[in-house]
Structure formats: structure tokens, C-alpha cells
Amino acid sequence: MKNKLLISALVLTILVSCTSDKSNSDTDIVVPPVIPPVINITSLKQASIPFGVACSPSPLKTDALYRETIINHTSSLTAENCFKPARISLGRKQYFWDDCDYMVNFAIQNNLRLHGHTLNWYSASGVPTWVSNFVGTKEEWILIMKEYIQDVVGRYKGKIKSWDVVNEPFETTGVLRNSIWKQNIGDEYIDLAFQFAHEADPEAILFINEFGTEYSIPKRTALLNLSNRLVASNIPINGIGLQFHTSISRSEIDIRTTILTMASTKLKIHISELDVEINPSNVTPFVITDALLLSQKRIYSYVTKVMLEIPKNQQFGITTWGISDAVSWKKNDPDFPLLFDLAYKPKPAYYGMIDSFNQK
């Protein structure tokens, strides 16, 4: 038996030796590693970072070109106005749901992710008339905020994937805005808003959303510090929305610094309301030139490029504030800040974003 084992071991050694010699021979066939093909995208709907637009129910219902452009080119939607508190809340525990329900159903039917904007805001659109007139103790103010947030988030639990919980909490100076919520509840209204939203839908992705961080260092620093404090305090915040209502005069370093600084929190980053003015001085009459469109393309392309540099799990999305120059909030300035022109045709900026995705 022992001799048989020795013979077997010897045969195995010879076979291994032969195999080794063969692998080093010039006549060997070497099989190259399988490399997956590079697939270039042709539409932002295919982008590796979800591309979205802010839109509203009325044109979705009545404007076929508006609707089809969104369906064909986006994978994500933000409710432009209909989820703002003054649009929903008619009185305490009294709500107008029709437009919100339409948006939710449209998103579901077209397999689009829906982002809710916004649960708490200082402006007239964010504060219903009955809230402006409300008189009560701190505890009563906390209660009406809780009721509203949980009624809205609870209604769409599992249907709306993410929310801007608190919108624009800072002044340009970096000081916490003296909103009606801060006046009556105190600074902790922000912490409470996130807690209430999380209780209503523990799976929802919750954002703080702010503008001007690409040009105001005090505001950027304040937002960074607040976000880090919320994380350290175990407040259920998941992401930061950077609005980026910007222009062709914005430097690339401002864009890069802002995105990478906020990404240092490890929270998800959403370029949440992007548009790029080509007439920031509001010159009139105004003529669009190829040079201006190429400058606009540079900004859109660079925002995309930097977003692709941050960790994949932080790349929540890039959303423009509107789909076409025909419906832009800047159209009367006059300006043409979006990716699609007045006829809903893609502009150079659209292809600039696609180029950035394909180069990555």
C-alpha cells in the first residue's frame, strides 16, 4: 500500500512538472481576460447617476412635448411646487392632495424616482396662511410641524423615495435664518423635522437643501457644520442638496470645492436644482451665441465630472430646475439656463453631460 502511495505521488509530481513546462512554452495559447465592452450612453436617462428634472402636474397633463421629453430623457423627478406646504395645507389637518397624487401616479406609471420638495421652508410658499397666523406655545408649534410632516410623508410612504426635509435654512452670511420655525421652536426645529419625517417613513432618504453654497463660503461652512452635527447626533439625515442655480461666470474651483467639501460628510449628494444662466447681467435685448452655449456646456459638463469623482454610494442625482428654456423660471430675465431649448431640442450642454458620463 505504501509503495502504491509513493508511485502515485511520483506520477502527480511529473504531471505538475509537465504542466508547468507547457505553460511556459512558446506554443501555448494564452486566453486574454474578459473585458466588458464600453457602452456609451446616448440619453441622460441611461446615466449612471440618476438624471432628473423639476416638473409640475399642469404641463404634464396638457403639454405632450413637455411630458414626452421628461419620459424619454429622465430617470428621476422632483415636484417643482405642488408639494410645498402652502400648496398642500389648507388648514390644520386639512389638505389638498390632487396634484401630489397625480405626480406620484405619473412617476409610478413611468418608472421614475420621485423626490419630494419640500417639507419645511421659511418662505411664503413654505408657510401656509393659517400657520403664519398661528399663536401657541413652543410645544404647540412642535405639534403642528409634526402633524404636517407625518401626514404628508405618511401618505406617500414607500412611493416617494426621498424628501427635502428642511429647505434653505441659512442666510448668505452663514447665520441660521430667523424663520417662523426658529422663532417659535428654536434651532432644534431642524433636528425635529428630520426625526418626524423618519418616523413617518423609516426607508425614505432625507435631505437638507440649500442654495448659494458655491459662492458663499460662510453658508457652505455653516451647512457643512450643521450636517456633521446632525450625523454626530444620530439625527436621521441621509443627504445634502446643493441647488446650484449658477451661471457661466462661475469658476470650476467653486463647483469642485463645494461638491467635494459636502461629500466629506459621507452623506449622499444631490445637485438638486441645477440651471446655468448665460445672461447673468439680464442684458436686453439678448442674443444667444455659440460661444455662450459652449460656456454653458462647460459648466454642466464639469458639474457632472465632479459628481462622478465622489464615491458611488454618495451619487444621489443631478436634477435641473425645469426641463426646457420654454418653462424656465428665468425665461423672462431673459435667460436660457436649461438643457433643452425653447423647442425642446437638446442643447450643447446636454451633450456635454453625456460626454462626461461616457469619458468616465
188 is known as an active-site residue: no
Residue 31 phi, psi dihedral angles, 5° rounding: -90, 115
214 is known as an active-site residue: no
Residue 272 phi, psi dihedral angles, 5° rounding: -95, -25
Q: Which one of 168, 210, 214, 277 is the catalytic residue? A: 168
163 by Cβ neighbours in 10 Å (0-12 / 13-18 / 19+) ranks as buried
Q: Which one of 80, 210, 214, 273 is the catalytic residue? A: 273
d(CA 335, CA 282): 7
Residues with a catalytic annotation lie at 168, 273
